[in-house]
Amino acid sequence: MVEPHEINWQELSFAYTPTKYMFIARCGADQKWQEGEVVPYQDIPMSPAACVLNYGQGLFEGLKAFSGKDDKIYLFRPEENAMRISEGCERLCVPPLPVEIFLNGISEIARANREYVPPFREESFSQGSLYIRPVIWGTGPILGVAPAPSYTFVIFACPVGAYFKKGFQAIKLKVTTEYFRATKGGTGYIKAIGNYATGMLPAQIAKKEGFQEILYLDTKECKYIEEVGAANFFCYLNGTLVTPELDGRILPGITRSSILELAQKRLGLKVEERKVSLEEVFQSEEAFSTGTAAVVSPVGSIFYKGKEHLINGGEPGPLTKKLFEILVNIQHGFDPDHYGWSQEVCQR
């Protein structure tokens, strides 16, 4: 276990560094969730017949705790994660986790591990954070394919460094017409654990070929953008910020909805949630992906059928950079939060 004082905050990456405490709550056959409690970080004993290990009945969330300029710790829109995991529970036949239990667990884990929250830094591109990972598993044993008889909710946390240590860098995407992420009626709109293992092979192939991420298309026409790996996609064309509409296949990202709101309210931009074709994207002035991990990642090029299409000459665009800064500045308390997004947890 790494002690907080042993951490070199400047050197932090995205590697997994466990912290001292985790949160745990259980749900038994009565379908009632316990309040839960903070316990020392530990392994979870489980039957080999656990539903999650055999049939993948599990789902997760991801959010961050930040140090503000005032040396207080803040969470960003945690109630959105609470509602999203609740919706996911319904789809996977998991007894819905009450929002209050989720929110209380997040605050408790941030508070218990507060020494692991990277300290505030003056430069917005170099901010680290405490990544918080809530996860629910069907841990009870079962042989037939059916919901587990009991469940476990765990929250663990890991300090992470800034994504763009060397400054804002554009990523290269590869379009795949061979692999797909989600289908109609499937689980693309929730963070079901089973959605992520299937993306590992295409991502691995793309990385070997020198790309950072996969750009997924729709299964039906193989023409419209869905997502970038495990992040949402945006492009800016003809003065409008456009992102694929939530059609049951797209994950409703909290960064996505925050960017949509900021683009309209702070920058007065026109925004559209609709089908976005690959052809349109090639004509875009700027493109980027959004997600909790990187916040905003500029897209520099898109490789499709043997051809590389540059976006904004392969460089991060000015609007992309602006949106990134506006959002990060709200998260770290540089800028006033007019939206009630930041939630104070405690003094660091």
Sites for ligand PLP among residues 279-318 (CB under 6 A):
290-292
Looking at the Cβ atoms of 18 and 62, the one nearer to ligand PLP is: 62
Nearer to ligand PLP, 139 or 292 (CB): 292
CB 326, min distance to ligand PLP, A: 15
Question: Of the residues 166, 172, 191, 207, which is catalytic?
Answer: 191
CB of 29 to ligand PLP, least distance (A): 30
Q: What is the 3-state secondary structure (H, E, C) of 266-317?
A: CCCCEEEECCCEHHHHHCCCEEEEEECCCEEEEEEEEEECCEEEECHHHCCC
- Dihedral sign for Cα 327, 331, 332, 338, please: positive
Q: Does 191 bind ligand PLP (CB under 6 A)?
A: yes
Spatial distance between the Cα atoms of 105 and 90, rounded to a whole number of angstroms: 20
CA dist 71 and 333 (Å) reads 10
Stretch that binds ligand PLP, among 103-111, 234-242, 246-254, 298-306 (CB under 6 A): 246-254
Other Cβ atoms less than 10 A from the Cβ of 235: the count is 24
Q: Determine contact, residues 85/61, Cβ cutoff 8 Å.
A: yes
Task: Considering only the stretches 170-178, 235-243, 250-258, 320-328, report the one whose residues sit in contact with ligand PLP under the rule CB under 6 A.
Answer: 250-258
- Smallest separation (angstroms) from ligand PLP to the CB of 80: 7
The first and second tokens of residue 324, run together, are: 């990134």
Among 256, 260, 278, 312, binds ligand PLP (CB under 6 A): 256
Answer for which of 57, 232, 301, 312 binds ligand PLP (CB under 6 A) is: 232
Residue number with CB closer to ligand PLP (136 or 142): 136
Find the angle CA(40)-CA(45)-CA(51) to the nearest 5 degrees.
Answer: 125
Q: Which is nearer to ligand PLP, 94 or 254 (CB)?
A: 254
The tokens for 97 are: 């986790």
Active site residue 305: no
Out of 213, 226, 227, 286, point to the residue binding ligand PLP (CB under 6 A).
Answer: 227
**Interface segment toward ligand PLP; rule CB under 6 A; list 24-32, 108-116, 254-262, 296-304:** 254-262
Question: What gap in Å lies between CA 99 and CA 81, rounded to an integer?
Answer: 9
* d(C-alpha 119, C-alpha 72), whole Å: 10
Looking at 4, 18, 56, 62, which residue binds ligand PLP (CB under 6 A)? 62
Structure tokens at 100: 């209050």
Compute the distance between CA of residue 213 and CA of residue 302 in angstroms, rounded to an integer. 10
H-helix segments, the chain: 51-55, 78-91, 99-112, 194-197, 200-208, 254-265, 278-282, 318-331
Q: Could you tell me the smallest distance in angstroms from the CB atom of residue 15 to ligand PLP? A: 19
Query: Which residue among 75, 132, 254, 296 contacts ligand PLP (CB under 6 A)?
Result: 254
C-beta closer to ligand PLP: residue 62 or 98: 62
How many amino acids of this chain bind ligand PLP (CB under 6 A)?
A: 14
Closest CA to 2 of 18, 21, 14, 23: 18
| Torsion 43-32-136-158 (CA) sign | negative
Residues at the site binding ligand PLP, with contacts judged by CB under 6 A: 62, 191, 227, 230-232, 251, 253-256, 290-292
Indicate which residues carry an active-site annotation. Answer: 191
